[in-house]
Structure 1
Amino acid sequence: MTVVLGANRYGKAETRVVRVTRDGDVHHLKDCNVSVALSGDMAEVHLTGDNSAVLPTDTQKNTVYAFAREHGIGQIEDFALLLARHFTASQPAIHHARVAIEEYSWERQGPHSFTRSATEIRTCVVHHDQDGTTSVVSGLRDLVLLNTTGSEFHGFARDRYTTLQPATDRVLATAVTAGWRHLPAGTGAYDYGKSYDDVRRCLLEAFAGTHSLSLQQTLYAMGARVLTACEEICEIRLALPNKHHFLVDLTPFGLDNDNEVYFAADRPYGLIEGTVRHDHAPDPGPAWD
């Protein structure tokens, strides 16, 4: 039996960087978590311990901080592309760079005062090869949504273990994780911020406007709305946990409960996942990894 080295990569994970831009008395804040993973001609470091092709992960961390100072942090996709292109261009042994960024949002309360916004996190994953091939996946995580009505679930398969009763009026709640893949950008500037706002708006509108017979139906409606409205997006992947709300039995207290009082359960929960894409979408390659 022959043992060989398989796919591998290495990098510095979760470099937390906060960038304050001072515009006179008005300050602007960017709060990000940056993860870098590099791959390429790395066989010798694994097989013999030869580190000559290894750019230290500490250097990768320092690059994130230096680039934040030198270039600022605008849209996180642009910052990720800047880093990925740097690593593949500056190191001959690095053939591929993956840069993933999480952005934590803050709401302005004054010229230099902020409050952390809710739970939602903006995300992106950028892959870039030495040959110039690039993929960009933008996304979000923990976008919490709830409809108090307009949701049903019935007509489902049953077996000897099924106890769930059909529902014709239920609370539908979820915490959306979504990632959407951009078509390759042209030569001009690409506005990732506008694209993010458009996609987020479509997700909200589709969730609120869909009379749901299942969370799967809602997932498809959300994805289809994005692809119909946003021509720059070729594919979107969604993960929707079903945040169950169960009616509380108040009959022991002589009270009825006409869909008014619920127990919000945190686990276990149903998890609905799916991809909606254009039928002509290009091969994603490693984009989602």
Structure 2
Amino acid sequence: MIILGPNRYGKAETRVVRVTRHGDAHRLKDLNVSTSLSGAMDDVHLTGDNSAVLTTDAQKNTVYAFARRHGVGAIEDFALLLARHFVDSQPSVHRARVAVEEYGWERNAGSGHSFVRSGTEVRTCVAHHDGSGTWMVSGLRDLVVLNTTNSEFRGFAKDPYTTLAETGDRVLATAVNASWRHGAVPSGDPAPDGGRGAATDWDKSYESVRQALLAAFAGTYSRSLQQTLYAMGARVLADCPEICEVRLSLPNRHHFLVDLAPFGLDNPDEVYLAADRPYGLIEGAVLRDDAPGAGPAWD
């Protein structure tokens, strides 16, 4: 027997830039929004009946309309507003997933209207809503960090193909990709523009998690990137009680000492080759032992 399995559809990567103008002081929000809906959608697959389908074009237009009508503050609030709207407004939509990426901009030279992109780091969130429950995962991507010392790697397993030499002091660098699950999400409509109705200060929570990640990376004497990963996740949970689980993906951005002997020069740990590939990839989760179930949050 052949049956239809799990399915969903949506509009991927709707780019929206929202400018808020308060006199000469402007505020800029630069987002990439992906929406995905599922529910009573069997007929569209099995018979071609489209009557239950809210078009992906309408999903895109909703993103733009809500950016104008409600403004954009913390991306978590904007994602929640969209997810709840799609479920509440469409009888055939039982579950909504809204993923948002935010690209940071900083004011340029003290101007109220000139901006410069703030590095490679991207803030992220994924909101899920199914009418009875809501889940939120916040995160960041490509937060590049480097320690010039206080890192070693030795005592590892060896086989006939092992050529890596042990080291008691090395450069440790990575581009942090992290996501963290909130233990509870307030019910009711958020205030996407960050106004007084906002039930959770997502921006404050984000900054607290980010600072915890940075502090743990800088302050951990690392015997392996795995140890550093655990220290970073544990620091987030210790500093941020609203977070119940952290997932980290840490590519090891290798730095190799350059042999300068052919040029009659020594190299006392000063000149390195930064190799971009291949690279070690360390991944893991750190969570509270009493953390509530994740539901669809990580999907």
Q: Which TM-score tier does this pair reach, normalised by the shorter chain?
A: over 0.9
Structure 1 portions without partners, runs of 5+: none
Conservation of the 8 A alpha-carbon contact between 2:136 and 2:185: no
The aligned amino acid for 1:92 is P
* TM-score of the two chains, using structure 2 as the length reference: 0.95
Equivalent-residue separation in structure 1 for 2:7 and 2:186 (angstroms): 31
Change (3 A) 1:32 1:186: closer
**Structure 1 consecutive aligned stretches of length 4 or more whose deviation exceeds 4 Å:** none
Equivalent-residue separation in structure 2 for 1:196 and 1:23 (angstroms): 25
Match of 1:103 in 2: 102
**What is the CA distance between 1:59 and its match in structure 2?**
0.1
Match of 1:219 in 2: 229
TM alignment of 1:215-254, pairs within 5 A:
215-254=225-264
Tell me the alpha carbon deviations over residues 128-156 of structure 1, each in whole angstroms, 9 at most, x when there is no partner.
0022x000000000000000001000000
Equivalent-residue separation in structure 1 for 2:295 and 2:267 (angstroms): 52
Conservation of the 8 A alpha-carbon contact between 2:127 and 2:134: yes
Tell me the alpha carbon deviations over residues 62-121 of structure 1, each in whole angstroms, 9 at most, x when there is no partner.
000000000000000000000000000000000000000000000011110000110000
**What is the CA distance between 1:181 and its match in structure 2?**
0.2
TM alignment of 1:63-102, pairs within 5 A:
63-102=62-101
SS in 1 for 2:10: coil
The aligned amino acid for 1:227 is L
SS in 2 for 1:288: coil
The aligned amino acid for 1:10 is Y
The aligned amino acid for 1:130 is G
Equivalent-residue separation in structure 2 for 1:183 and 1:151 (angstroms): 33
Structure 2 portions without partners, runs of 5+: 188-197
Change (3 A) 1:17 1:186: closer
Change (3 A) 1:139 1:93: same
Match of 2:195 in 1: none
Match of 1:62 in 2: 61
Match of 1:255 in 2: 265
Match of 2:158 in 1: 158
**What is the CA distance between 1:25 and its match in structure 2?**
1.1
**What is the CA distance between 1:186 and its match in structure 2?**
4.4
SS in 2 for 1:193: helix
Count how many residue pairs are aligned between Structure 1 and Structure 2: 287
SS in 2 for 1:177: strand
The aligned amino acid for 1:122 is R
Equivalent-residue separation in structure 2 for 1:114 and 1:253 (angstroms): 45
Match of 2:121 in 1: 120
The aligned amino acid for 1:91 is Q
Equivalent-residue separation in structure 2 for 1:28 and 1:256 (angstroms): 51
* TM-score of the two chains, using structure 1 as the length reference: 0.98
**What is the CA distance between 1:124 and its match in structure 2?**
0.1
**What is the CA distance between 1:255 and its match in structure 2?**
1.1
1:189 pairs with 2:199: yes
Percent sequence identity over aligned pairs: 72
**What is the CA distance between 1:184 and its match in structure 2?**
1.0
